[in-house]
Amino acid sequence: MSKITVAIDGYSSCGKSTLAKALAQKLNYNYIDTGAMYRAVTIYCLRNDIIRDSVVDKRKLIECLNEIEVSFVYNTITKTSEVFLNGEHVEKEIRTMQVANNVSAISSIKEVREKMVILQREMGKNKGVIMDGRDIGSHVFPNAELKLFMTADNDVRTQRRLDELMSKGEHHSFEDVKRNLEKRDHDDTTRKENPLIKAEDAIVLDNTDLNKEEQLVFVLKLINDLLLTKDEFNKPLAKH
Ligand code: DC
């Protein structure tokens, strides 16, 4: 059966990565978390004094871009690709609030985005990929066979992020997490470079009232239908 590209975009903490991971496992596709890439660059910037109090030293960052290498390695235990910064496993560190509070400033920089998009296109060039982020359907893979745009109620999203942080031992107030989430949505939708927008042909998935299983069933059905049509279309015509 032929393989397709699935682009998943949407607001922060909508469950994009949870859905993407589940889909990738079901379909035996690669999962690429593009937010993790911007977060890894943010860690580099925090460690190297390139960002302080959300103010970016853009010149220094551009000078250092060649020294920042972001890659993924498949973890056979967690069954997912995990992000590395210059060869160091940073999957845990990228999820901290400190990184969340600074990542929008880094991801709004044109040169950073250009570098990440080249990597993303390279990783997805053979299809069979589920990629989630903000500009995947609109910019990285405008020809993706399936584009989803995910959204959910703000309070529901905040609670999900709070639970995720708590499970990792980070304790924050509901209000702090909600503020961070709303600020990132605002920054992501209003930035100049490839802002978060719904691609015209994206299917909206509002998962406020849907559990993980229901979302998975919904999207698998879409993918199945697409693959059937695609393979039917590619079948050689019978000779008479
Ligand atoms: O999906 P996430 O919360 O891990 O993403 C972290 C940040 O990176 C988010 O605030 C927006 C940015 N991002 C982006 O600008 N473009 C992408 N394709 C993915 C993430």
Report the run of H or E that residue 154 belongs to, with start and end.
helix 154-167
Ligand 1 centroid – CA 6 distance (Å): 17
In this structure, the residue with its CA closest to atom 16 of ligand 1 is: 134
CA-based torsion, 39, 20, 178, 141: positive or negative = positive
C-beta 11 within 6 A of ligand 1: no
Pairing of strands 146-151, 203-206: parallel
Q: With a 6 A CB cut-off, is 34 part of the ligand 1 pocket?
A: yes
Indicate the average pLDDT of the chain: 94
- Determine whether the shortest distance from the Cβ of 184 to ligand 1 is under 6 A: yes
Angle formed by the axes of helices 174-190 and 154-167, to 10°?
120
Beta carbon of 32 within 6 Å of any ligand 1 atom: no
Backbone phi, psi, residue 219, to 5°: -75, -35
Q: Decide whether any atom of ligand 1 lies within 6 Å of the 35 Cβ.
A: yes
Q: Can you give the pLDDT at residue 18?
A: 94
Which pLDDT belongs to residue 239? 59
Residue 150: Cβ within 10 Å count: 23
pLDDT 10s digits, 121-141: 999 999 999 999 999 999 999
**What average pLDDT score do residues 101-106 get?**
93
Top-level CATH class of 5-232? alpha beta
Q: What is the pLDDT of residues 155-213, one digit of tens each?
A: 999 999 999 889 989 899 999 999 999 999 999 999 999 999 999 999 999 999 999 99
Which residue, chain included where needed, has tokens 């551009």?
Answer: 62
State residue 195's pLDDT score: 94
214-227 tens-digit pLDDT: 999 999 999 999 99
Whether the per-residue pLDDT at 238 is higher than 70: the answer is: no
Structure tokens at 64: 């250092």
Burial state string for 105-128 with b = 16 or more CB within 10 A and e = fewer than 16: bbbbbeebbebbbebbeebbeeee
- Interval between CA 157 and ligand 1 midpoint (Å): 15
Tally of CB atoms within 10 A around 198: 17
Handedness of CA 157, 198, 32, 188 (dihedral sign): negative
For the whole model, what pTM was predicted? 0.93
* 153 alpha carbon – ligand 1 mean position (Å): 18
Taking CA atoms only, the protein residue closest to ligand 1 atom 15 is: 107
- Whether 35 shows a pLDDT value over 60: the answer reads yes
- For the chain, domain boundaries: 5-232
Give the H/E segment covering residue 62.
helix 58-64
Most informative mutation of 17, 33, 38 for ligand 1 (most atoms within 8 A of CB): 38
